[in-house]
């Protein structure tokens, strides 16, 4: 597309909008895809072109793009109480209902006895977790215990603290991040990180040894927390090998290191269980949730904190006079109303059961691409999946990133009416709305097959 072919809306956008996570110079030349309407699992652009959104937006629009119950809930709430806050002893009515519901939906029985603290994005809630690690250990008289261990390829958001915890280089470069006090260990990505011939079990042994060595070198008395996504999303849809989390957790417990599970993508059914905690038997001290909490219709995130953290914070803040943290929009009534209705729909429509029923179709379909000459690995769980493209699949040799093979795939898929996303290392991600049906999955797979062939031909050209 040349600049003159860009629509008026697109020209206005590139003139005035600094886009998040975008190749900015390329956008100036090509203009944006202007999405104007949603319909089930589809979105429609300004020219009337339909796309199946194989990413549910940004891993978030679980109920698709036109759920009338969410619209009705939002409208009811806007008419009744459009805004109130939770500071200094007040609370908007819908918060009181939502916290009770979130206890029913707690990722672990222990967290079901804890508290939730609201914010407006995954980044903010992870930022809150970062701060609470400090608050908790300071209050316990352990002021040195505040470094946090995070992993390579992690994605925890973009505030200064959350970006510091994230392990993707573009989030740090030129931002003078990470902040001091963040320690890094390898991602549990066997395909990309294992030594030649190393089994999954041996790989896990090596990762655990790395973590143990780091804790010993730094001194456990200086390490306050460890943060992890159960399945790493934006870093490449990385499914940890068997036994990994069990052994990580044992180490954390032994050294009294708080475990923060970032379930911003995995929470509320993406993996075929309510939470990654269910899949991997996690027992975190804090859990971040966002995205599918409201099916993304309204921004909202929440941080579950354990009873122990709550009690310590409550005691310590009593001495200070207030708990000095919270956002103007923490527990916004509109977001609460939409979150409540979203959770009710998950229950009434058995959305997690639906994910389980759809899982074999998507995962077996993706596995059928494993032998394709462009595919190094096909992987996934529940309704999340990825194809890691490779120049030489047998040798696991990636393409030179400058070739933009993944970006070419995304462009061609879009031309065929399918939106997917490329992650670093030419990983093509799939994360459709949880309500996608068999026909939707078949469409995704059919267009993926076509696009793989076209992209392969392009790489040979």
Ligand X SMILES: Cc1ncc(COP(=O)(O)O)c(C=O)c1O
| Contacting positions for ligand X (CB under 6 A) | 58, 121-123, 126, 155-157, 229, 233-234, 262, 264-265, 290
User: In this structure, are residues 286 and 277 in contact, taking their beta carbons and an 8 Å threshold?
Assistant: no
d(CA 430, CA 444): 9
CA nearest to 331, candidates 133, 166, 97, 18? 97
Question: What is the 8-class DSSP label of residue 120?
Answer: S
**C-beta closer to ligand X: residue 223 or 234:** 234
**C-beta closer to ligand X: residue 262 or 388:** 262
The residue sitting closest to ligand X, measured at its beta carbon, is: 122
User: In this structure, are residues 131 and 372 in contact, taking their beta carbons and an 8 Å threshold?
Assistant: no
CA angle (75, 78, 83) in 5-degree steps: 155
User: In this structure, are residues 86 and 328 in contact, taking their beta carbons and an 8 Å threshold?
Assistant: no
d(CA 186, CA 194): 11
Q: Nearest distance from residue 227's CB to ligand X, in Å?
A: 9
**C-beta closer to ligand X: residue 155 or 275:** 155
Question: What is the 8-class DSSP label of residue 397?
Answer: B
Q: Nearest distance from residue 170's CB to ligand X, in Å?
A: 14
Q: Nearest distance from residue 195's CB to ligand X, in Å?
A: 27
**C-beta closer to ligand X: residue 207 or 265:** 265
**C-beta closer to ligand X: residue 155 or 297:** 155
User: In this structure, are residues 337 and 76 in contact, taking their beta carbons and an 8 Å threshold?
Assistant: yes
Q: Nearest distance from residue 172's CB to ligand X, in Å?
A: 16
Question: Can you read off the two tokens belonging to residue 125?
Answer: 């809630």
**C-beta closer to ligand X: residue 11 or 325:** 325
Q: Nearest distance from residue 87's CB to ligand X, in Å?
A: 22
Q: Nearest distance from residue 119's CB to ligand X, in Å?
A: 9
Q: Nearest distance from residue 41's CB to ligand X, in Å?
A: 19
**C-beta closer to ligand X: residue 116 or 234:** 234
Question: Can you read off the two tokens belonging to residue 223?
Answer: 């390490």
Note the helical H segments in 219-254.
Answer: 244-254
CA angle (373, 379, 385) in 5-degree steps: 110
């Amino acid at each position: 597309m040349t600049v003159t072919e860009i629509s008026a809306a697109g020209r206005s956008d590139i003139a005035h909008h600094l886009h998040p996570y975008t190749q900015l110079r390329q956008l100036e030349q090509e203009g944006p895809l202007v999405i104007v309407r949603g319909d089930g699992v589809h979105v429609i652009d300004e020219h009337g072109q339909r796309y199946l959104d194989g990413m549910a937006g940004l891993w978030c629009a679980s109920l698709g793009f036109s759920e009338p119950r969410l619209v009705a809930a939002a409208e009811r709430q806007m008419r009744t109480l459009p805004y109130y806050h939770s500071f200094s002893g007040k609370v908007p009515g819908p918060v009181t209902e939502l916290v009770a519901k979130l206890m029913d939906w707690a990722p672990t029985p222990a967290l079901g006895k804890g508290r939730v603290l609201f914010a407006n994005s995954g980044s903010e809630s992870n930022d809150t977790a970062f701060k609470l690690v400090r608050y908790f250990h300071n209050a316990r008289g352990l002021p040195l215990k505040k470094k946090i261990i995070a992993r390579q390829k992690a994605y925890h958001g973009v505030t200064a603290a959350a970006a510091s915890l994230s392990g993707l280089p573009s989030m740090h470069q030129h931002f003078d991040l990470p902040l001091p006090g963040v320690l890094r260990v390898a991602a549990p990505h066997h395909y990309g990180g294992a030594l030649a011939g190393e089994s999954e079990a041996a790989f896990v042994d090596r990762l655990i040894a790395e973590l143990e060595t780091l804790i010993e070198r730094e001194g456990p008395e200086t390490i306050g927390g460890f943060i992890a996504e159960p399945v790493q999303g934006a870093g490449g849809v990385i499914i940890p090998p068997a036994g990994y989390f069990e052994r990580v957790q044992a180490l954390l417990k032994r050294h009294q290191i708080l475990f923060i599970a970032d379930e911003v993508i995995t929470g509320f059914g993406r993996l075929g269980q309510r939470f990654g905690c269910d899949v991997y038997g996690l027992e975190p001290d804090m859990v971040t949730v966002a995205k599918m909490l409201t099916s993304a219709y309204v921004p909202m995130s929440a941080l579950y904190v354990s009873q122990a953290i709550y009690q310590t914070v409550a005691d310590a803040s009593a001495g200070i006079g207030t708990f000095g943290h919270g956002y103007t929009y923490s527990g916004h009534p509109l977001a609460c109303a939409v979150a409540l209705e979203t959770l009710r729909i998950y229950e009434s429509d058995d959305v997690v059961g639906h994910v389980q029923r759809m899982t074999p179709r998507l995962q077996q379909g993706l596995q059928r691409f494993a032998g394709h000459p462009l595919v190094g690995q096909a992987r996934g769980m529940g309704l999340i999946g990825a194809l890691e493209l490779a120049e030489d699949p047998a040798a696991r040799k990636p393409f030179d990133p400058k070739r933009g093979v993944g970006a070419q795939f995304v462009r061609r898929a879009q031309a065929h009416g399918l939106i997917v996303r490329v992650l670093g290392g030419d990983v093509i991600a799939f994360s459709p709305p949880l309500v996608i049906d068999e026909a939707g999955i078949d469409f995704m797979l059919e267009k993926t097959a076509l696009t793989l062939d076209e992209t392969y031909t392009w790489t040979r050209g």
